[in-house]
Amino acid sequence: MNCGEGIDTRQVDELFINLDPIQAGGRLTTDAMKAVLAYGDGYSVCDNCVKPFRLDHISKPPLADFHRDLADFLQMDVARLVPGARRGFQAVAGALVSPGDPVLLTAYSHYTEFLSVEQSRGIPFEIPADESHIITPDAAAARIEEVIRTTGKTPSLMFVEQVDYQYGNLHPVAEIAKVAHQYDIPVLCNGAYTVGIMEVNGKELGADFLTGSGHKSMAAPAPSGVLATTDEWADKVFRTTGIKGDLTGRTFGIKEVEMMGCTLMGVTSVGMMASFPHVKKRVKEFDRQLQHVNTIVDALFSIDGTKIQSEYPRKHTLTRMNTIDSFDKVAKTHKKRGFFLTSALRERGITGILAGSTRVWKFNSYGVSKEQADHVARSFIEIAEAEGLTITG
């Protein structure tokens, strides 16, 4: 069934339990799906845009209120919608990083954080992780000292992930930010895997900037996200235009330079806004999601040779497994080779794990019900048993 010429209708989440690491938290709520139906046209939020002609001032649909609610939700002072957390990184780096500036990132920083530094012509310095795959305040302090010693400059910005994309580990952002602030280094906390999933308090984290991803963790269409900051930094990162056309003399009102004016002018902002009441509620129920992921991990653990590479018990639903000594042994002789696992899961109505993976792979169980978590757990054990692996515990 097509939804346009050559475009198949996507039915992944209607037919399967979807454990895709980057898709789980962005699955739309029914209200967001309705908003998509009503606001799919381009510039659809601009019907009632009046002076001063800026997205965060539109009251119908209630985008102005939504911006204020987002800042409150994150315990920050000011928030703007951005086309993905990455555009938040870009805006902050664009405002704070000058060519040649050292910029701190971590061993688990997203590639778009690096690209934002590159675009601003900064020089990246990574804070290493410890053997548990955690970024520690001590490692941050040591790297800051080293960077100052070797470059003679204090880094103009530090990026740190609250939960990283590689291991799904929760890092001690508040303690790391405290260290950075001792050197007057502003901190951008990347909450792409946390904002909209679990409760996030920007003030408690000590974040000068906090980014969230609508399509990754706030049940919103892509590309969408939020950049929030404090009153101290708002004027810098959300500076308004002062440019003037030399022939026409045109000026451009109060458009914000780093935002490139208005950001999400249609279905993305309304989809995000429609999901927001549900998102506010679901972050308070995150413990239940942790129970579900631990149910799945415990089942995997019972398969001899299986290891977890993320911290355990899990503090987030994004999880990295190592099945080199279990499922990968089966893959070596199986007629479907490495594809046997994802194929067997698919037969049981489960998808989202990278096809062909039997060595090190990730899954994200965010959003599953208890019944679905039990089904996933049972399925892994059934597949292992069918392939002759030993189950213990």
Partner 1 sequence: MSKRSVDAVFQGLYLLTDIRGILRDTVPDHRLSPGQKKEAEKILGKLEKQVAILKEELLA
The residue ranges that bind partner 1 (CB under 8 A) are 13-17, 27, 29-30, 33-34, 37-38, 348-350, 369, 372, 375
Q: Which is nearer to partner 1, 329 or 348 (CB)?
A: 348
CB of 222 to partner 1, least distance (A): 18
Q: Which is nearer to partner 1, 20 or 164 (CB)?
A: 20
Q: Which is nearer to partner 1, 33 or 234 (CB)?
A: 33
CA distance 94 to 88: 10
CB of 14 to partner 1, least distance (A): 5
Give the tokens for residue 109: 């920083």
**Residues ≥6 apart with Cβ < 8 Å to 4:** none
Q: Which is nearer to partner 1, 76 or 368 (CB)?
A: 368
Q: Which is nearer to partner 1, 32 or 259 (CB)?
A: 32
Q: Which is nearer to partner 1, 16 or 286 (CB)?
A: 16
Give the tokens for residue 191: 């909450």
**Residues ≥6 apart with Cβ < 8 Å to 377:** 295, 296, 298, 299, 300
The torsion defined by the Cα of 30, 5, 349 and 307, in degrees rounded to 10, comes to: -90
Q: Which is nearer to partner 1, 13 or 311 (CB)?
A: 13
Cα 65 to chain centroid distance, Å, stands at 23
Q: Which is nearer to partner 1, 62 or 349 (CB)?
A: 349
CB of 84 to partner 1, least distance (A): 24
CB of 229 to partner 1, least distance (A): 35
CB of 371 to partner 1, least distance (A): 9
The amino acid present at 389, given as its one-letter code, is L
Containing 54, the helix (H) or strand (E) segment is none
Would you list the DSSP string of 167-180?
T-PBP-HHHHHHHH
Q: 10 Å Cβ neighbour count for 310?
A: 24
CB of 15 to partner 1, least distance (A): 6
Q: 10 Å Cβ neighbour count for 154?
A: 13
Packed helices 85-96 and 111-119: angle between N→C axes, nearest 10 degrees? 30
CA distance 125 to 102: 7
**Side by side, which strands form the sheet with 225-229?**
78-82, 225-229, 209-213, 187-190, 157-161, 102-106, 123-127
CB of 34 to partner 1, least distance (A): 5
Q: Which is nearer to partner 1, 229 or 379 (CB)?
A: 379
CB of 276 to partner 1, least distance (A): 17
Measured CA distances, 138 to 107, 144, 151, 251, 361 (Å)? 14, 10, 20, 48, 29
The amino acid present at 36, given as its one-letter code, is V
Q: 10 Å Cβ neighbour count for 31?
A: 16
Under 8 Å between Cβ of 159 and 190: yes
CA distance 150 to 148: 6
CB of 236 to partner 1, least distance (A): 42
Q: Which is nearer to partner 1, 19 or 92 (CB)?
A: 19
CB of 27 to partner 1, least distance (A): 8
Under 8 Å between Cβ of 173 and 166: no
